[in-house]
Amino acid sequence: MTRPGGATVAARARQWADIVLDPSPATMRRFALAGVITTAGIIATGAAVRLSESGLGCPDWPQCTRSSLVAAHSRGDPMFHTWIEFGNRMVTVAITLIAVGVFVAAWQFRPDGRRRRDLIWLAAVQPAGIVAQAVLGGIVVLTKLNPAAVALHFLASIAVLAAAVALHVRCTEGTGPARSLVRADLRLLSYALVAVVATMLAAGTVVTGTGPLAGAGAVPRFHLPLTGVTQFHADIGWLLGGLAIPLAIGLRLTRAPARAVRLGWVVLALIGLQGAVGYTQYFTGLPAGLVWFHVVGSTLIWIAVLQLMFALRDRGPVTAAGGEPKTTEPGARRTAEPAEPAAAR
């Protein structure tokens, strides 16, 4: 005989399962957003591990120490370093569960009765990226924080974040060919902006691997002049601003879609703030807390420029099995194709 409470629990379990196994466009977008947030979060926590000099708080891998799977005292490092590093590893476990949920939801997502292969591939990057990150993290620990391994570990996270942002955009788009919403020169500027931000992120790993915050003690570092690599990183920042200013102004003057105009100004503001933080940290001796904000700012800029690039084209709405546009929220009004922008007339 089944107790009433047991039936209620089973019904709720089925409801939660249906969210993953039969997601609506709105639910799919929420899953994708969770992927973006958690991937950005692990970048922030990883930077905290590095900047607090806790990278070897767990000196072994996959265990924390040779004698313990969980945080335990090890010779030569304070216990709080161990807890910071072990906590970062536990965050990865939670992110793995979300990444698997995102992939399952993308596999089950069938707005027109068929699976969306583009979404499946993008969603698969997240659990695959976590596996790759676990391997790279092990290499980082076993090589005692080799700066090249640390840089690759960070850049792999940036690549996974790019796939998560793309998934978030694509999960409520149709599968039609991309239709430009702005002039060709503005789209080219957006592509250049993404490329330069990627270069800036790579250069930032070189600065970190060269500078005093590469780690505690005798941690390997790049044998490069710190002033030179820092100046190169700053020069990339000025180039970034030189691209963002005409793009933001061009979007405003050509009456681009409102969302694209907003994102243009957001990108420009983030770059300006990032520059201010960067120069402040340089002239104040690279305080770890300020460097952490710089890393977080770089991550936000990466998300923003990707969103801006995608906002400059349109693939039509998600369609239901009957060919009708599928609403993304309960009670949302069905809409026709977006109106043709002034730039395309």
Q: What is the pLDDT along the chain (345 residues), one digit of tens a residue?
A: 455 555 676 667 676 676 778 788 888 899 999 999 989 988 888 787 777 666 566 666 666 666 565 555 555 555 656 667 767 777 777 888 889 999 999 999 887 778 889 999 999 999 999 888 888 888 887 887 788 888 898 999 999 999 999 999 998 788 888 889 999 999 999 999 999 999 999 998 898 888 776 554 567 788 888 888 989 999 999 999 999 999 999 999 998 999 999 999 999 999 999 999 988 888 887 777 788 898 899 999 999 999 999 999 988 877 654 444 554 443 333 333 344 444 443
The SS3 call for residue 63 is: coil
pLDDT value at residue 197:
96
State yes or no: cis peptide before 341, omega within 30 of 0: no
pLDDT score for 13: 67
Residues in the chain: 345
β-bridge partners, 65: 68
Report the distance separating Cα 187 and Cα 197, nearest Å.
Answer: 16
Tokens for 334, please give them. 């069905």
pLDDT confidence of residue 201: 94
Residue listed under structure tokens 């800029």:
301
Q: In the numeric block, which tokens belong to residue 220?
A: 């390997």
CA 293 to each of CA 76, 105, 277: distance values in angstroms, whole numbers, following the listed order: 28, 33, 8
CA-only gyration radius of the chain, Å: 23
Residues 6+ apart with CB under 8 A from 164: 32, 35, 36, 39, 122, 125, 126
**179-180 and 313-314 as β-strands: parallel, antiparallel, unpaired?**
antiparallel
| E strand intervals along the chain | 179-180, 313-314
Distance CA 273, CA 250 (A): 21
User: 33, 166 in Cβ contact below 8 A?
Assistant: no
Q: Is 181 within 8 Å of 341 (Cβ atoms)? A: yes
323: left (phi over 0), alpha (psi -120 to 50) or beta: left
Q: What are phi and psi of 159, to 5 degrees?
A: -65, -40
Structure tokens at 177: 């060919």
DSSP-assigned states of every residue in 87-151: HHHHHHHHHHHHHHHHHHHHHH--TTSS--HHHHHHHHHHHHHHHHHHHHHHHHHHTTS-HHHHH
- Nearest of 133, 125, 137, 132 to residue 165 by alpha carbon: 125
pLDDT at site 340: 41
Q: Which two tokens stand for residue 22?
A: 């039969």
Determine the Cα angle at 44 with ends 86 and 167, to 5°.
110
